Chain A
């Protein structure tokens, strides 16, 4: 199966391991992720404001590219891209007059007809391939690995956009179980990581990261998985500051869910693991004998 996907800026820069692992893992599952041609930034920062047509141009233009490719669905990896693109799509569906204005402004493009479905890769795994199939394809069950699923905000909220229950999601848990690992439940899994405060108020993010990660440790978690480059940055790279501010903090490695998937499918993590991780996940993977094929 070939699926058109939208990478987003972060995956091309600070989150390379996310994209590489996703592509390899999905290839191992028989799914070829084909990158959308001529995509632009999903427009996340500006698209968060309302009643601001100019800032809907970026997401809508990407959806027009999907139309041009003759496809009706687009898969994203980054939770924020998912949220931004899907929200813009829902917004124009509910605001036909605004869509007409946007289409009139984008006179160099064909009109957006509102027929594109934006999916997150997790939805593709759950609803199209099915976790049962994923489980069958696991060649190296991650037995004994205690994994903290971290949702953050953007996979689940607002409700119309969310891919699972906003209160009690289980899609990541179900994936973790399918991969043979053990999900660790914590009360912080759907709480915010501090998001863009990371650029101006690093301490707020460090506080959030400390709360989320310490709770995860207390519940016996060894590694946290995320689906968002910003969450990952905040929970992983900000641990440097957390260590400075909070005595006795024990670091927790942070992986993209696709990295876990790749490991369970028996792929060699050297193909994607990058120096972009602040807390090196390799010792833990070594301990569980997951580094060698």
Chain B
């Protein structure tokens, strides 16, 4: 079995090559009580900071996705202490300065781009903070779409910005006030409310498991959609 040397919080371990950081830590005997969630690169719970023996740069990843490499010095950052501002989405509006009002520290950004360099999702984090600064909520929402809220950016920023909370507020405002409304959705909700599908649902809830399985297997599948 091919193995690699990794250092978990400074202690050396030899682990099989090809494991993710998370699996390798479990192999080494660690048990994740926190700092792991989806194990699929979506929840952002497993932020990892590492440096390679022969590199001066810090690197950032999510432990459930990153494969171990020889000579990795690792530490987990499962949580970023970055309080979220409290707001009532019903009462605020997508104005030029609303992001600045709840997160005034965005005005301290010096455009060092450190946040972008620490994002495991390869998001243009600085660009969305800059967009936030100039009140461009739509752009913040678009640029931050893939954010998994791991918080690594916010642990590195010299201006103490809570990037992912800023982005979340922007996406909420965008979704509520700026994004074009989906007409077919409103139509379908109205249909549901009028009881159009009640009979069908009743039929399904009363169905035998076998019959239900058969129906499920025979369902229409859109082409090109994987499971």
Contacts and interface: CB of A to CB of B under 8 A. Distances in A.
Contacts of A57: 110-113
Interface in B120-140: 124, 126-127, 130, 133-136
Interface residues on B, range: 10 to 19
Nearest to A52: B110
A253 interface: no
A263 to B, nearest CB: 26
Contacts of B109: 40-41, 58
B117 A41 contact: no
Contacts of B112: 54, 57, 105
A120 interface: no
A12 B135 contact: yes
Contacts of B97: 13
Contacts of B70: none
B96 interface: yes
B111 A58 contact: yes
A61 B113 contact: yes
A41 B133 contact: yes
Contact of A9 (B110, B113, B127, B134): B134
Contacts, number: 46
A275 interface: no
A38 B117 contact: no
A106 interface: yes
A108 interface: yes
A106 B133 contact: no
Given A9-B133, A12-B136, A57-B111, A40 B158 contact: no
A143 interface: no
Nearest to B111: A58
Nearest to B96: A13
A77 to B, nearest CB: 14
Interface string A4-21: 000001001110000000
Given A9-B133, A108-B117, A46 B127 contact: no
A58 B117 CA distance: 16
Interface of B: 96-97, 109-113, 116-117, 124, 126-127, 130, 133-136, 158
Interface of A: 9, 12-14, 38-41, 43, 46, 54-55, 57-58, 61, 105-106, 108-109
